[in-house]
Amino acid sequence: MSHDTTTQSFGTRLGNFLRRETTGGALLIGAAAIALVFANSPWREAYETLSQTVVGPANIGPVYIHLDLTLAKWAADGLLAIFFFTVGLELKHEFVAGSLRSPKQAGVPMLAAVGGMALPAIIYVVMVLSLGNSEALHGWAIPTATDIAFALAVLAVFGKGLPVAIRTFLLTLAVVDDLLAIIIIAVFYTSEINGAWLGGSLVVIAIFAWYIRTRSPKWWLLIPLFVVAWAFMHASGVHATIAGVLMGFAATARPIHGETDTRTHHYEHAVKPWSQGLALPIFAFFSAGVNLVDGGGPAEILAQPIVFAIVAGLVLGKLIGILGTTWLVTRVTPLRLAQGIGVRDLLPVAFLAGIGFTVSLLIAELSFEEGSEYTLGAKAAILIASVVAATLGALTLRWDVKQERGPDMNRDDLPDEVTTFIGDEQDRKDH
């Protein structure tokens, strides 16, 4: 009876709705579509004015803290830290108790993630240089990212009937992708670092890490610590979302103090509705509004070499990088795919990995000056590539569902033991 929705409060039902993979993807798509319509409507100046509205103080007394940010920046630097906090929680769980705890189990998707990031970057660089647009080289990391929420939502809708191990492969690949993207942002997209502010942020994060592991941490103390650590990290010059990741890593992934649930699961359960229902849609609204009407129009923006490079990187680079790496690894090493998965199942997975969206949009904003032609072209390319990748992923998922499955899909000479499938009762309960 504890699971009977008729006895649950409205807040509980809303939270459960927002945690669903399909809900997160739908809200992302909806927010991006509204932004595109708004940015190209007769009210596009109002959209631009709203995006550039400055909120927050530049100083606290004599101390310069640089929190006088536009609403678009607050969405990218502030709200997105909530999303990256959930990413940190997920990473911690996967490394300690999930699919990444065993290198043997996680080896193939982890290496596939590396291949799926390296080849798109190479394709981008080669195309940009060959098309004579070397000024855009700074955006090399744009096509390397995978949007977890968007990709899992498409899989949940169109992959019903496939083994759950396919979701685990995609999740592992996307989690490693996110980890590498975080490292790229921290290393390559940080220009100047203020050591004092960075040190202060790390001290607050250490306090947060200690407090979140105590017997009964209070949310009304954790939130101020989170905000202060984020503000100090932002003032240091390091992208502030890194603070969110580090604080997500601080939670324990094994039960402590006699608890039956892990802290990573507890806080992910609590924060995910805010991440998927608020942070990501607002970020998408402010980031996806590409103005194709003014200036040279859509023809000029879409004709940029950067557009072709990003679309090719996300759609073709991810596909060839993931499939090629997987084929090579399973042929020349003892590593194998999980039970129930064949190489053919990775065709839709590789397409879904080409949905860059959230992190790609963030890297695009970090790569070029705000409002520049490169930024507009990069965002347009990300949206185009994400739609193409999602469509191809959905079509190939439906094709895969209809194919007959053999007794040894992963070719490890052992019969597959597959008991749960995407969309069945147990899967719906878990996701």
What's the residue count for the chain? 431
pLDDT tens per residue across all 431 residues of the chain? 344 555 688 889 999 899 888 898 889 999 999 999 999 999 999 999 999 999 999 888 888 888 999 999 999 999 999 999 998 898 898 889 876 787 777 899 999 999 999 999 999 999 999 998 888 999 999 999 999 888 988 998 999 999 988 988 998 898 889 889 989 998 898 878 899 999 999 999 999 999 999 999 999 999 999 999 999 999 998 889 899 999 999 999 999 999 999 999 999 999 999 999 999 999 999 999 988 888 677 888 888 999 999 999 999 999 999 999 999 998 898 888 888 888 899 999 999 999 999 999 999 999 998 778 899 999 999 999 999 999 999 999 999 999 998 888 887 778 888 878 887 766 666 55
Paired tokens of 93: 């769980």
383 in a domain, yes or no? yes
Domain count, the chain: 1
Check residue 1 and give its pLDDT. Answer: 38
Check residue 46 and give its pLDDT. Answer: 96
173: nearest Cα among 372, 399, 338, 304:
338
Q: Determine how many CB atoms are found less than 10 A away from the CB of residue 203.
A: 13
Check residue 4 and give its pLDDT. Answer: 52
- Rounded-to-integer distance, Cα 295 and Cα 304, Å: 14
211 in a domain, yes or no? no
- Rounded-to-integer distance, Cα 431 and Cα 424, Å: 10
207 in a domain, yes or no? no
C-alpha dist (Å) from residue 57 to 50, 70, 303? 18, 11, 40
197 in a domain, yes or no? no
174 in a domain, yes or no? yes
54 in a domain, yes or no? yes
Paired tokens of 167: 């979701």
216 in a domain, yes or no? no
Backbone angles phi and psi of 231, in degrees to 5: -65, -40
- Rounded-to-integer distance, Cα 400 and Cα 334, Å: 26
247 in a domain, yes or no? yes
Q: Which CATH number belongs to the domain containing residue 49 in this structure?
A: 1.20.1530.10
Check residue 184 and give its pLDDT. Answer: 93
Q: Provide the domain limits for residue 399.
A: 21-190+239-422
Contacts of 67 (CB under 8 A, 6+ apart): 56, 57, 58, 231, 234
Radius of gyration of the chain (CA): 22
